[in-house]
Structure 1
Amino acid sequence: MHSKISRHLLTHKNELKIMEIQMLPKKSKKRGMLFLELINEGNYKHNIEVLKNGGIFITARRESPDSLNHSPDEYLPCEFCKGFFLKNLLWHHAKTCKLGSIKNDEDDEDEKLGKSFVRKGRTLLYGSLFDENESNITHLLERMNDGEEKEIIKKDLIIKNFASIQVQALGEERIQKKNDMHRVSSNCRTLARLVMMARKDIPLPSLNKLLSPEHFDKIVKYASQLSSEVPSLGPRLGHLIDHCIMVKNGYAVRKNDETMLNASKNFKHLFDSEWGYRVNAPSRKRKRVANLNKPSKIPSTSDLVKFRDFLIFEMKESEQIVESTQDHLAWNRLAKATMCRLILFNKRRVAEVEDLPVEDFQKRPKWTSTEEFEESLTDMEKTFAKRMDLVEGFGKSKKNMKAYILLTPDSKRALEVLTRYRSAVGVCPTNKYMFARLHANTPLSGTTAMKELLGKCEGLKNPENITSTSLRKYIATVSQILDMTQGELKLLPKHLGHDVKTHKEYYQLSSSVLELSKVARMLYAVENGQVNAWAGKKMKDIQLEELPEPLPKDDDIDYELAQKEDQSSSTADTSKPSCSDHEQPSNSDSEQLQYIRSKGKRGTKRQWTKEETDCLRKKFKGYLSGIQKSVHQSELKEAQKICSTRTLPQLRAKLNNIKLGKSNC
């Protein structure tokens, strides 16, 4: 066959390649290689058409009877001769490829040995398979694992167009983040799984066919099945389908296909009216139910302090070794410790720190502000502004493009050491990341580094609670203790990379301690009917000491006698009737009532003296006159030195009674 096709090719005498072959001596090695290259080029173009439209697939080697069940998708072309070989055998051929040995005579031997033949074969194949507007998804498919999902993505019209638009939105490769392409790949695989599920009900399904009104109920069924295992997958799938509807609309408009456009619009009407109720709402409810009665795992302050001290020690020790010996292991250790230190201090997402480019650190500006703004700062804030430094990186979303990474003096010094000795320890010049992986173009994994250093740090009570997400929940929850203004409240979410609504809804956990203490005591106050004591006061002005102590246990109260006491007290308060108009309780009942009163109030009630009342009026004159809004705890402690027999809650209650005009003294 080879000789026959060679004789046929020689009939095309006017072609430049044939003219070059005819000038070479017959049966020469180079003449044979050029014939092989020309033959494989024709077979390659034929196989591309077969992969697109179907037909007989031509392989580089004759198939054995045992291997005839291989599909065309299991083959890849050799980057040198363009012959198609099985993927798992391509490396074996490429090492001994005759055309490869000729083309690489002038190349550096080390560079040739480092090439990935399978990856380059995929690049060659995908570059030929896709049209010009789909060529940007070549790199996306290269990084995907082979499987049924990948084959669907390669052949499905809507998924390919969706992926192409998503990749274009990422921008140039130099400004992409490490996981950007992975997110697009994950979205495409999710859509491919939807098409895979439809194979049970629809012959030869595609996303284009599914996005029509008659198949809407089937898509809802498939989405519900997927979200039953992962609740968040339902809303996410709806978001992707909404994008694909727009992609289908655009394709129909370009092709002037009214049938496809009408089907897409009708599907959109059904989607907008029913998807939220039939898929999103059950998924979110399922997620809320699954999270009930699960304690929020946020790290303890003592663990964070210990881990911080451990990281600072690691940084100092490895800095000294790097500066003295330029050891690559010490440099790697310093990079991991510094990265974890920045994550711990800034409470940022792991990816925002590990993806920090070294260029952003080196070219950071000298941060200055206007004189008016500097004059508004306190002395402490001015000191912090001088000591700290700042680097702006890429944030997670389009809304929060900037990731503000504050640099403490120790972190800044460590970053300067890492930058100074990069080339000395063997970091690739093409690696753009500050925390670079040695002999690679990728950064170190922040999650792996955090787990590794937490395992080395001794004395931690719950090291598993120290994660990037839990740190963000920790700072959002602990910040509730601070009396932050509305402007200050916006600063923290902005630093963390989300808005105030997300900050309050997802990160700011309701502390169980606050529920069991402050909220419980306020509810007791309402239950005891003592809310009128705070009339005219704001909730923020009510001190914890003003709240009543919890009532005794329910088993210790005689409810019948308590009801009699309430009736007698309410009767006594109305129009002061004479004793003859009402029956007096018996001695035994009076003794029991007195027991209830004394037990509920914890001690015998003592009359306030005129000297004590005058002392309080004089000391808290500003509060009683309304000039001062609240009383500080330290002021009450000073008053307690004079009224030594009174507790702080008693002093505060007396002040409120005087202010409300309920004091007789």
Structure 2
Amino acid sequence: MNYDEVSNVVQNDKCILQLGQYMFNKLKNKGNNYDDYIRQKMREVGRMVLVAQDVTPLKKVKEFFIPKNFLHVISAVKKAAGYDPETNTYQTPSLALKLGHSLKKISSIVESDAMMFGDDITAEYAKRYRAIHDSRWEEYISSGALNTLKEAKWNMPQVLPFTNDVKLLNFYMENQQHVSERMLRISPTPENYAALAKVTLALAITFNRRRAGEVSRMLLTAFRSRNKSVLHDDVAICLTPFERKMCECFARVEIRGKRGRMVPVLLKPSMVAAMELLAELRESCSVPSDNLFMFGRPEALSAYRGGECLQKYTKLCGAKHPEALTSTKLRKHIATMSQVLNLEENESDQLADFLGHDIRIHRQYYRLPQGTLQLARMSKVLLAMERGTVSQYKGMTLDDIEIDPEEKIPQSNEGESSDPSEDECTSSEMEHIMDTSTSSAPARAATPPIQEPAEKRSRRKWQSGEVRSVEKHLMKFIRTFTVPAKRDCMLCLQNEPETLKERTWTDVKNYVRNRITALKRQNT
């Protein structure tokens, strides 16, 4: 730690040191950044103790667990997290939540140590503190902190990577990898080694949409022990020729992911070549033999940070929105846009498993942007409610409903018939449809007819020339029981300007709709 008043508090408080010891014992075999995480947690508690010394009588963490001091603990946490009593919000709500978890864990450690050394009073105090914490912490801290976190996300634009930026980044990094690999082969120095290690690490992160820390902590033994066997003949039979070619092209390395689960990393041939070169020249580039990481630093036992490497190249590649090119946003991008592919449930499960997501979390959070969905779909329901036509869409899905917001629906007048059959086609036209639709397939239900205002509606019958013109361009919609969109009707009018000069696009759409309705009646 930096030597300051916080580190002085940490070094002189036994309970904070016990928390650090506990976390060290638990995390020491899980990667190279556990020391940063432990330091962060210990300093958080140290800052809280400094605040408590200013605003409360409490001086040591051990005093926090005396039950009568619980309200002093609440005051210290609120002060440390920047609580505003007027709005019930926090300047740093996440800190308030983190301190709650840390205090609960420290109380458990204090209780177990007190029990081992026969200090029944301290053990009982810690036990009582946890009981009070469980019942009252939400009331005093968690509720306001969680609300602050949620409200901070309202009306925030969802920033996802742009395709052109991703292409620019990949093109730039591949060029840098080629140059760095050539330089390392010519001159195996720590500087050239570092350049190739950083760009290869960033490429592996972006290609796999993997968490930056997971790829950074890839072990050298994991890379060297990757499966190099030839594809099994029985398995190859189940794959297409293209899929067999992909299996021959890519390499797969299994690494430790979040919560200890195994996650794969797929490597392109260029990445494999670069990583083999890094592994071969480690010793000559001053990487210690005790460094276990594939992307280990020269003269250190740690690995390069994937997030920092990726950030470096996003700034250099010329992307318009480099802030969107982070490992987290790239992961969200692939999980969100995968919905466009209309994946089956088992395929969606495979994608979630590859990304290292719990499938329930994947389905809950990685969806198309909620605001876009509400604009695109919920607006249909609201328009139908406003126009009083909800019942006419019975049995239809939101994808099937088509309502043009520019269409005007007239108010019904007494004595005026609303039967759309006035515009239906003649019996001879019905027979013509029956002859031309022998291969028709079931499709979406018909949407209700569109009417213009009473003063603009035309009641005259469709002439044979008009019918032929519409059939010429829109017969495929009639055959498939699909109501054409506005653009299709407008295109029909543009192609037949003379024949359909007395008709509007809504007339054309209503005509096709009525033909579909009549045909369905004949079929039933």
Answer yes or no: same fold by TM over 0.5: yes
Specify the alignment match of 2:27 in structure 1.
170
Q: Distance in 1 between matches of 2:6 and 2:63?
A: 17
CA drift of 1:474 comes to: 0.9
Contact kept, 8 Å, 2:425 with 2:514, in 1: the verdict is no
1:492 is matched by which residue type in structure 2? L
Distance 2:391 2:519 in 1: 13
- Indicate if the aligned counterparts of 2:58 and 2:72 stay in contact, CA closer than 8 A: no
Q: How does 1:351-366 map to 2 (within 5 A)?
A: 351-366=213-228
Q: 2: distance between equivalents of 1:307 and 1:610?
A: 59
Provide the residue aligned with 2:341 in structure 1: 482
Q: Is the 8 Å Cα contact of residues 343 and 353 (structure 1) preserved in structure 2?
A: yes
1:419 aligned to which of 265, 269, 279:
279
Aligned match of 2:168 in 286, 306, 319? Answer: 306
- 1:565-590, Cα deviation, whole Å (9 max, x unpaired): 3x545x767xxxxxxxxxxxxxxxxx
> CA contact under 8 A between 1:472 and 1:507: conserved in structure 2?
no
Partner amino acid, structure 1, of 2:337: V
CA drift of 1:178 comes to 1.5
Shift of 1:614: 2.2
Match status 1:260 vs 2:122:
yes
The one of 75, 100, 103 equivalent to 1:221 is: 75
1:511 deviates by 5.3
Q: Are 1:563 and 2:406 an aligned pair?
A: no
Is 1:617 the counterpart of 2:437? The answer is yes
Match of 2:331 in 1: 472
Distance 2:388 2:132 in 1: 54
Q: Distance in 2 between matches of 1:641 and 1:249?
A: 87
Q: Given residue 169 of structure 1, which amino acid in structure 2 is its aligned partner?
A: K
Within 5 Å, give how 1:203-282 maps onto structure 2.
Answer: 203=57, 205-227=59-81, 228-282=90-144
Mapped partners of 1:431, 1:210: distance in 2: 41
Residue among 317, 325, 328 paired with 1:457: 317
Using the alignment, how far apart are the partners of 2:266 and 2:444 within structure 1? 46
Equivalents in 1 of 2:230, 2:396: separation in Å?
Answer: 43
Is 1:346 equivalent to 2:208 in the alignment?
Answer: yes
Shift in alpha-carbon separation, 1:325–1:518, aligned structure 2, 3 A: same
**Closer, same or farther in 2 for the Cα pair 1:536/1:507, shift >3 Å?**
closer
CA, structure 1 residues 642+382, in 2 after alignment: closer, same or farther (shift >3 Å)?
Answer: farther
Determine which structure has greater relative contact order: mean sequence separation of CA pairs < 8 Å that are 6+ residues apart, divided by chain length. 2
- The 5 Å alignment of 1:598-609 reads 607=425, 609=429
**Partners of 2:56 and 2:72 within 8 A in 1:** no
The aligned counterpart of 1:23 is none
CA distance in 2, matches of 1:310, 1:360: 28
1:441 and 1:624 map into 2 onto residues whose CA distance is 64
Q: 1:371 to 1:518 in 2, by over 3 A?
A: farther
Contact 1:431/1:441, CA 8 A, preserved across alignment: yes
Change (3 A) 1:518 1:506: closer
Conserved 8 A contact 1:299-1:474: yes
The structural deviation recorded for 1:500 is: 2.6
Distance (Å, rounded) in 2 between the aligned partners of 1:624 and 1:612 = 20
* Structure-1 residue corresponding to 2:471: 643
Contact kept, 8 Å, 1:404 with 1:495, in 2: the verdict is: yes
AA of the residue aligned to 1:261? A
- Identity score, percent: 24
- Structure-1 separation of matches of 2:433 and 2:389: 22
Name the aligned partner's letter for residue 429 of structure 1.
S
Counterparts in 2 of 1:568 and 1:197: CA distance versus 1, 3 Å: farther
Report SS of the residue matched to 1:390: strand
d(CA) in 2 for partners of 1:382, 1:475: 24
Deviation at 1:361, TM superposition (A): 0.7
The alpha-carbon deviation at position 260 of structure 1 amounts to: 2.2
CA distance in 2, matches of 1:625, 1:205: 71
Deviations 1:538-594 (A, max 9, x none): 55xx45xx5122234xxxx6x9xx4343x545x767xxxxxxxxxxxxxxxxxxxxx
Partners of 1:260 and 1:473 in 2: how far apart? 47
In structure 2, relative to structure 1, the CA distance for the partners of 1:286 and 1:500 (3 Å cut) is same
Preserved CA contact (<8 Å) 2:56 2:76: no
Q: How far did residue 530 of structure 1 move?
A: 4.7
Q: C-alpha separation between the residues in 1 aligned to 2:104 and 2:293?
A: 35
Determine the C-alpha separation between the residues in 2 that align with 1:204 and 1:223.
12
Relative distance call for 1:257 and 1:451 in structure 2 (3 A) is closer
- 1:104 aligned residue: none
Segments of structure 2 that go 5 or more residues without pairing to the other structure are: 82-89, 446-467, 484-511
Which of 545, 550, 554 aligns to 2:405? It is 550
SS, match of residue 437 in structure 2: helix
| Pairing of 1:7-18 with structure 2 (within 5 A) | none
> How many angstroms does 1:304 deviate by?
0.8
In the other structure, the counterpart of 2:493 is none
Q: Which residue number corresponds to residue 294 of structure 1?
A: 156
Q: Which residue of structure 1 aligns with residue 258 of structure 2?
A: 396
In 1: Cα distance, 2:312 partner to 2:199 partner: 10
| Aligned partner of 2:15 among 143, 150, 158 | 158
Deviations along 1:626-650, one digit per CA (max 9) or x if unpaired, are 9xxxxxxxxxxxxx99933328777
Aligned to 1:28: none
The residue matched to 2:159 in structure 1 has which SS?
coil
Residues 337-390 of structure 1 show CA distances to partners (whole Å, capped at 9, x for unaligned) of: 211111111111211122222222112234689877665545444433332211
Q: Distance in 2 between matches of 1:202 and 1:642?
A: 83
Q: What is the CA RMSD across the aligned residues, in angstroms? A: 3.5
Q: In the TM superposition, what is the alpha-carbon distance from 1:623 to its structure 2 partner?
A: 2.3
**Whole-Å separation in 2 of the counterparts to 1:312 and 1:332:** 16
Query: SS at the partner of 1:644?
Result: helix
Task: Label 1:262 to 1:436 Cα distance change in 2 as closer, same or farther (>3 A).
Answer: closer
Asked if the contact 2:444/2:482 (under 8 Å) is kept, the reply is no
Which amino acid is 1:196 matched to?
L
**In 2, distance between residues paired with 1:514 and 1:617?**
35
2:423–2:514 Cα contact (<8 Å) kept = no
* Aligned partner letter, 1:550: P
Deviations 1:472-508 (A, max 9, x none): 1211211221222333323333322331333345554
SS at match of 2:93: coil
- Does the CA-based 8 Å contact 1:212-1:263 persist in structure 2? yes
Residue 35 of structure 2 corresponds to 181
Q: Which sits farther off after the overlay, 520-529 or 265-274? A: 520-529
**Structure 1 contact 339–446 (Cα < 8 Å) conserved:** yes
Residues of 2 paired with 1:373 and 1:277: CA distance? 57
CA distance in 2, matches of 1:656, 1:329: 75
8 Å CA contact 2:222, 2:255 repeated in 1: yes
Deviations 1:199-218 (A, max 9, x none): 13554622121112211112
| Pairwise CA distance, 1:235 | 1.9
Corresponding pairs, count: 460
Report the AA paired with residue 547 of structure 1.
E
Amino acid in structure 2 at the alignment position of 1:645: H
> Cα offset for 1:451?
2.7
What displacement does 1:437 show?
2.8
In 1, the alpha carbon distance for the partners of 2:477 and 2:154 equals 37
1:373-384 matches, cutoff 5 A: 376-384=238-246
CA distance in 2, matches of 1:282, 1:311: 44
Q: Which has the larger radius of gyration?
A: 1
State whether structure 2 residue 355 is matched by structure 1 residue 501: no
Shift of 1:180: 0.7
Asked if the contact 2:396/2:444 (under 8 Å) is kept, the reply is no
Check whether the contact 1:235–1:280 (CA below 8 A) recurs between aligned residues. yes
